[in-house]
Amino acid sequence: MLCACPFLKLKPFCIAQCVVENHSFDVEEEAKRVGSDVSKKEPVLQSVEKITKKAKGVVTAADVSAVSGLPLRDVETALERMIELYRVSVSADTDTGAVKYTFKYPFIARGSKTWGERWQSIKATLWKGFKVTYKALTGVILAGYTVIFAAILIGLAVAGGGDNDDDNFNPAHVLGMMFRLIWEAVFWHTMLHPIEYDVDSSGMRYRRFKQKEKKKSFITSVFDFVFGPEVPGPDADEDAREVAAFARKHQAEITPGHVVALSGVTYSEAEERLADYLVRFKADAHVREDGVVVADMHTLTQRAGAVEEAPIIMYPDEVDPPVVHNGNTGGKNAMIIAMNIFNLGFSFFILAASFNTGEFTDVQIGGGALTALQIALGYFPLAFSVLFFAIPLGRYIKLPRKKKKRERSIIRKKMMRLILENADRPLTRNELLSVANRTPEAEPVLDALAIELQADTELDSNGEMLYIFERLRREL
């Protein structure tokens, strides 16, 4: 029995230390080996698949055995094989107390993606490739073109800056504007750099620029200006490792409630993940006397010797990093903007002047050389510079939505913590809203969470809404 689960006994959660080998398998390769053609499969598996299809994907082992006349043990083995091949969730049949398998119908191969998921994957791959290419060129182009354009300006200024009329292009004026941009960037760096007070050895207080723990390189600041700070990506196997680690630590039979507490998914997702863990960790499924379906993972507790253990991080303790636009200081942003404005303006001038070579005083350029100049010093740096501003502008527009999403996630985690620590008693709506300081986002988050956790509701003697998480209490 798992009534002694630390979720209910310890406040706050205990952070167990554990490590587990990742016994993952390649589903697609396994499916290829077996083949999707029923005629290539074992007779028992063929029969079980046909019966399951007729039942629209919802069966128990006893159902299939009764209809087919096959031995129950063979049917259970075939259902385990089907779990490896198709997406399925496991739950308890409340009428018979048996393990109920609910396959996605029509059958969906495990590991396969919908068209929407494939399109998202394609977009993510293209965006990643663009970022890698753009980053590889960023340092060279931003700094390199600034130097090249400055050298051209200086050369033009020396060659004929004094011969230009006020109405014509004067490179000396542009050169002066460039240096003014740099000077302004330095000025705003001083103005925007935060001030802090410190105390010397004599106890006297003095002002200084706020010290940073670790100085970020200029090129990293440029990358962050365009694409934002890098954050760790999702780990597809992280939740599975935590489930296995929890089983090893507590010698546990894992329930859907444990999956919810560890990863924060809905109950429907937890039941599908539990089916995956049956195959991934070669666990056995059964229904306890209290009607809870469990995955027996005691085999994971076998240890050959001492191993370095890793922490088990519960869902409420996993918070996303703060959402920031670029994380740079105001001074660095000013410097980066000044350099890109200079490149943008000069590349535009190159294009404008190239269509009227008279602007280059006595310099005459042939057709082929002119086209090369337009591409190398005009179109290419112009497009790069436009993207340099367009990408962070697009991210800035999306920033409020991302911040709101993170805020809702934090509210959900705070409520989940309260629920997991007090799943053995009813919680009032006021209690749950109070942990989120009753922010406007709290109520819709609570309403959704109550549905996801299959909470029962009733009114107390004062007419206040009570939430009873009976299923979670039994499963923890």
Q: Bridge partners of 370?
A: none
pLDDT tens digits for 216-269? Answer: 778 888 889 988 888 777 777 888 888 888 888 887 789 999 999 999 999 999
The pLDDT value given to residue 367: 53
Q: Are 101 and 59 in contact (CB under 8 A)?
A: yes
pLDDT tens digits for 128-171? Answer: 888 888 777 776 677 777 777 777 767 766 665 455 454 554 54
Instruction: Supply the pTM of this predicted model.
Output: 0.70
Lowest average pLDDT, out of 31-35, 100-104, 265-269, 370-374, goes to 31-35
Helix extents (H) in 101-235: 115-160, 171-192, 218-227
**Domains with residue ranges and CATH for the chain:** 14-112+260-313 (no CATH), 133-231+324-364 (no CATH), 413-475 (1.10.10)
Q: Tell me what the pLDDT averaged over the chain comes to.
A: 77
The pLDDT value given to residue 374: 80
Among 389, 361, 373, 359, residue whose Cα is nearest residue 149: 373
Among 16, 2, 12, residue whose Cα is nearest residue 246: 16
Name residue, tokens 């995955």. Answer: 295
Question: With bands split at pLDDT 50, 70 and 90, how would you rate the model's confidence at 467?
Answer: very high
Pick the more confident residue, 470 or 193. 470
Question: With bands split at pLDDT 50, 70 and 90, how would you rate the model's confidence at 9?
Answer: very low
Among 409, 406, 421, residue whose Cα is nearest residue 449: 409
Question: With bands split at pLDDT 50, 70 and 90, how would you rate the model's confidence at 196?
Answer: low
Q: Are 99 and 90 in contact (CB under 8 A)?
A: yes
The two structure tokens encoding residue 266: 């809905």
